[in-house]
Structure 1
Amino acid sequence: MIVAVAALTKALTRTSSLANLTAPLIRYPQIASLLLRRLPSKMTMEFEIMKKFCSTDDGREGLPIREVVKKLESWAPLHLAGSWDKVGLQVEPSGDSHIVSRILLTNDLTEAVVGEAVERGPFGMILSYHPPIFRPLKSLTNRTWKERVITTCIENRIAVYSPHTAWDAVAGGVNDWLASAFVTEKVVPLVVSKTWTQPNPEEAKLTHHVDIVVPNTDEQLGSFIELLTECAEEMGTQIHDLRDASDGTKVITFVCDEEHVSRLVKCVNSWPMKPLHLQFRINKLTQIPLPDFGEGRLCTLKEQLTLKEVVDAVKSHLHLHHVRLAVAKNHSLGSLVRSVALCAGSGASVLAGVDADVLLTGEMGHHDILEAVHRGSHVILCDHSNTERGFLHHLVEDKVLDNLFDGLIEVVMSTHDKEPLHVL
């Protein structure tokens, strides 16, 4: 390794080409830091400029980006996220060797935060709770702040990953952290997440399990399988399983949506050779509930508290001096509370119609508040990201992410990420 670095360093000192100089740093980020320490001071490109091409730093070994994504999704699978949400890897540097050894963690990816990433870098990834790309971008220019954020990440080879509502729904996630403001007897999701009975479908559109069973001895079997493979490719899927059964048949399995079931039947019927002695076995997949996973939480307090005590507990947990409070009709700060329904962020739709003494969230519309207080529920609003950001600090301070990455990645909390609203 040292010999290779020395040889490469010697070669680099003979070139003045920017492309020749930076290409090895991009292609082999594992040795970039060693290279930069060995280059002589006479090199025309300054160390800090060169450093941004590296995906690693001196402190940790790092992990390939695909391994980072795999670990994040193993903890909070993306199928837990709302169907409307835009979660997962949103920006990925080119090439197959992007190594992440430092991650900047933020609630919102603003221009201030991406500037911090460049200044304090190198960072191989920004882990942004809220997805910076939510509505489609029509261009990548300097015209809008969101476009500038993405282009800056691309220019500096910074990946961007957003978990958003997957972190809300997962057990031990944002909503469970918010519920930890109270001493509880019981905490359950308001809307329970579900998973498929079959392991293959990772998206809700995969709703059917199709077995096409044909004799193993049929002379046309090979050509028939080729036809099915071509049909699958046209549908944007593939054969999920191909196995020999004990009764002398070949079982060809697909997992697909309802439309693709019809297309598979048409594909089989289009077979021009002699009829195969085949049979279809089609089963509609069902979903089963995942206990402790889901949207929002309904908390039953271990002991009754006054409304004022509940408010104080929220302020203490979120480190806030002020919250907004709507007191239920015919109640007061001294009214007793036994149940709290909560949803981090904007929880009006999740909390609508929930029977609880207190509704706790970041923001809620005026008419939603009026409906709640007339139904007998107090409403506590803390502003959107105030109900979320503390969870990110918990991930860093309690080494949750450090343990997830086996200590190979340094996770740094952004100092420029802040709730935009202030009470004056």
Structure 2
Amino acid sequence: MSLLSRVSNAMQRIAPLSLAALEWDNVGILLEAAKPRPDAKRVLLTIDLTTTVLAEALEDPSVGVIVSYHPPIFSAWKSLSMGNLKQNLVLQCAANGVSIYSPHTSLDSCANGVNDWLASLIGPGTVTPITPAQPDRTGGQENVGEGRILQLAEPKPLSTIIGEIKKGLKLEHIRVARAPCHASDEQKLIERIAICAGSGASVLGPVTADLYFTGEMSHHDVLAAVAKDTSCVLAEHTNTERGYLGHVLQGRLSKELEVDEFDGPVDVVVSRCDQDPILIE
């Protein structure tokens, strides 16, 4: 069995593609190299396929598959040229025998996925999906769907939760919009938290919660949240996703790939070059 087939089968067990937002997302095998690299037995995990991540992959002859959380092929293309950044990256992968797989929103919505991991940084408590998956799209998993609601076992001050998020995401700074009722820790405690990795306004906006935890929201979405006594914690888009690769996915994918170990061992590594483009200096 090819390395790409093994990765695709393993990822389907971890994050069934039926859980993705198929109405707009682009997930699964995005590129199957016509001539795969010989003897490639390494999978590179990244949030974004950038020029630096691509260089990292191509410099390592063992890398045969890139699992890029964000799909480098998203909207339809009518042509392929080296002058277009995304097309350039994909063409270089094809020319060098490296395939691409993207799980994106299926990995957000699955059991023990990105949103469950974010909730675990704050818990303990009860975790449920904001929008449960339809029964025919769960892929056999339970308690899955879009976003997460974390009902804390014990209410906490907002400052305590901010500290837990910083520690879990290994960040020195995050953006916070405090609703008037959370202006000080002596005021209302946080009990109910709505969570969505990445850009979460469309998922979180309709939800009644004490706190929204996501990567980014627009200025006006933040104002609307604060006006209804919901504070917001914004850690930047990919900072809410990247830590999951090393903390969870690397180990899970390695274990799932052992199912097909008769085809040889596979090494799963996390990109050293992948990072959020926005820094607070």
TM-score w.r.t. length of structure 2: 0.91
8 Å Cα contact 1:299-1:340 kept in structure 2: yes
Does residue 1:386 correspond to 2:239, yes or no?
yes
Counting only pairs closer than 5 Å after superposition, residues 309-324 of structure 1 correspond to structure 2 as: 309-324=160-175
Aligned residue number for residue 145 of structure 1: 85
Q: 1:121 to 1:293 in 2, by over 3 A?
A: same
Where structure 2 has 5 or more consecutive residues not aligned to the other structure, the ranges are: none
Aligned residue number for residue 70 of structure 1: 9
Percentage of matched positions with identical amino acids = 40
Native 8 Å contact 1:361 1:387 kept in 2 = yes
Provide structure 1 residue ranges, at least 5 long, that are not aligned to the other structure: 1-61, 197-201, 203-286
**8 Å contact 1:90–1:161 — kept in the other structure?**
yes
Instruction: Kindly tell me the number of residue pairs found equivalent between the two proteins.
Output: 273
User: 2:196 is matched with which residue: 340, 343, 346?
Assistant: 343
User: Is 1:189–1:295's contact at 8 Å kept on the other side of the alignment?
Assistant: yes
Seen in structure 2, the aligned counterparts of structure 1 residues 138 and 404 have a Cα distance that, compared at 3 Å, is same
1:68-93 Cα offsets, whole Å, 9 max, x none, are 21221122111100021000000101
**Candidates 169, 172, 175, aligned match of 2:115:** 175
Residue 86 of structure 1 aligns to a residue in which SS?
coil
1:405 is the counterpart of 2:264: no
Match of 1:136 in 2: 76
**Aligned partners of 2:111 and 2:141 also within 8 Å:** no
Matched residue, 1:41 = none
What value does the CA root-mean-square deviation take over the aligned residues? 2.2
**CA distance in structure 2 between the partners assigned to 1:333 and 1:165 by the alignment:** 35
Match of 1:79 in 2: 18
1:417 lines up with 2:274 in the alignment: yes
Higher gyration radius (CA): 1
Letter in 2 for 1:379: C
Alignment deviations for residues 302-361 of structure 1 (CA, whole Å, 9 cap, x no partner): 211111111111111101111111111343131311111110001001001211111000
**Counterpart of 1:387 in structure 2: which amino acid?**
T
Instruction: Confirm or deny: 8 A CA contact 1:110 1:149 kept in the other structure.
Output: yes
Task: Give the Cα–Cα distance (whole angstroms) in 2 for the partners of residues 81 and 66 of structure 1.
Answer: 19
Q: In structure 2, how many angstroms separate the alpha carbons of the residues matched to 1:330 and 1:304?
A: 14
Q: CA deviation at 1:121?
A: 2.6
Matched, 1:305 2:162: no
Tell me, in whole angstroms, the C-alpha distance in 2 between the residues paired with 1:183 and 1:410.
32
CA deviations on 1:211-247 (whole Å, 9 max, x unpaired) are xxxxxxxxxxxxxxxxxxxxxxxxxxxxxxxxxxxxx
1:95 Cα deviation (Å)?
5.8
AA matched with 1:323:
I
Distance 1:133 1:98, change over 3 A: farther
Letter aligned with residue 339 of structure 1: R
Counterpart of 2:178 in structure 1 is 327
Deviation string 1:30-84 (CA, Å, 9 cap, x unpaired) is xxxxxxxxxxxxxxxxxxxxxxxxxxxxxxxx85422321221122111100021
Q: Which residue of 2 aligns with 1:293?
A: 144
Q: Report the Cα distance in structure 1 between the residues aligned to 2:84 and 2:139, rounded to whole angstroms.
A: 43
Once the 2 structures are TM-superposed, how far is the Cα of residue 290 of structure 1 from its aligned partner? 6.1
* Partner Cα distance (2:132, 2:171) in 1: 30
**Residue 115 of structure 2 is aligned to residue 163 of structure 1:** no
Q: Does the 8 A contact of 1:194 with 1:289 survive in 2?
A: no
Letter of the aligned partner of 1:109 in structure 2? L
Aligned partner of 2:61 among 121, 125, 132: 121
Q: Residue 290 and residue 126 in structure 1: after superposition, are their counterparts in 2 closer, same or farther (change >3 A)? A: closer
Residue type at the aligned position of 1:178: L
* Residue identity opposite 1:389 in structure 2: R
1:180-214 Cα offsets, whole Å, 9 max, x none, are 11122200000101132xxxxx8xxxxxxxxxxxx
Q: Distance in 1 between matches of 2:146 and 2:58?
A: 35
**Number of the residue aligned with 2:230:** 377
CA distance in 1: counterparts of 2:66 and 2:3, whole angstroms: 14
Q: Is the 8 A contact 2:40 2:62 kept in 1?
A: no
Q: Compute the TM-score of the two structures, normalised by the length of structure 1.
A: 0.61
Residue range with higher mean Cα deviation, 97-106 or 364-373: 97-106
Seen in structure 2, the aligned counterparts of structure 1 residues 295 and 146 have a Cα distance that, compared at 3 Å, is same
Q: Cα 1:97–1:385, aligned 2, differ >3 Å: closer, same or farther?
A: closer
TM-aligned CA deviation for residue 387 of structure 1: 0.2
| SS of aligned partner of 1:143 | coil
1:292 aligned partner, one-letter code? N
Which of 331, 350, 355 is 2:208 aligned to? 355
Matches of 2:86 and 2:280 in 1, distance apart? 26
Residue 366 of structure 1: CA displacement? Answer: 1.2
SS of the residue corresponding to residue 127 of structure 2 reads: strand
Aligned partner letter, 1:160: I
RCO comparison, higher one (Cα < 8 Å, 6+): 2
How far apart in 2 are the matches of 1:414 and 1:308? 32
What amino acid is the match of 2:30? Answer: Q
Cα shift at 1:120: 2.1
CA pair 354-99 structure 1, distance change in 2 beyond 3 A: farther
| TM-fit CA distance, 1:378 | 0.4
8 Å CA contact 1:178–1:387 kept in 2: the answer is yes
